[in-house]
Amino acid sequence: MNKGQNIQVLGKTVDKETRCVHYHSSKDIIAIKFYCCQTYFPCYQCHDEHSDHHAQVWPKKSFGEKAILCGVCQNELSIHEYIDSNSTCPICRSPFNPGCQLHYHLYFEK
């Protein structure tokens, strides 16, 4: 795991744990690096509002790359680590929003 202390998260963030105006429950603590621009955003809506291009999903062959930032411990996770996490950060054990799985198709190739 890489500690992402200096990673910039763009979008309408509302706190240092990467919550945004669109998703801000206690469990909305991840940011996703978008494949198309290699930039972290809290959600697809933040990406759409702040980018001049359409989002592209991560291809399966790249699921080993670090692309998820835990807003609590600031560690980067690979997509595989995130998908296999059972909605809990494997480093700090903070709970992730399990509802995010409903949006996997917006971020990750099926």
Number of domains in the chain: 1
Instruction: Say yes or no to pLDDT of 1 above 90.
Output: no
pLDDT at 4: 57
Q: Which domain holds residue 22?
A: 2-107
pLDDT at 2 over 80: no
**Residues with Cβ within 8 Å of residue 79, at least 6 apart in sequence:** 58, 62, 63, 64, 65, 67, 68, 108
Q: Token pair for residue 7?
A: 């990673």
Mean pLDDT of all residues in 92-105: 96
Residue 3 clears pLDDT 80, i.e. is over it: no
- What would the pLDDT profile of 44-89 be if each residue is shown by its tens digit? 999 999 999 999 999 999 999 999 999 999 999 999 999 999 999 9
Is residue 94 scored above 60 in pLDDT? yes
DSSP code per residue over the chain: -EE-TT--B-SSB-STT--BSS--STT--EEEEETTTTEEESSHHHHHHH-SS---PBPGGGTTSEEEEETTT-EEEEHHHHHTTTTB-TTT-PBP-GGGGGGHHHHB--
What average pLDDT is seen over the chain? 94
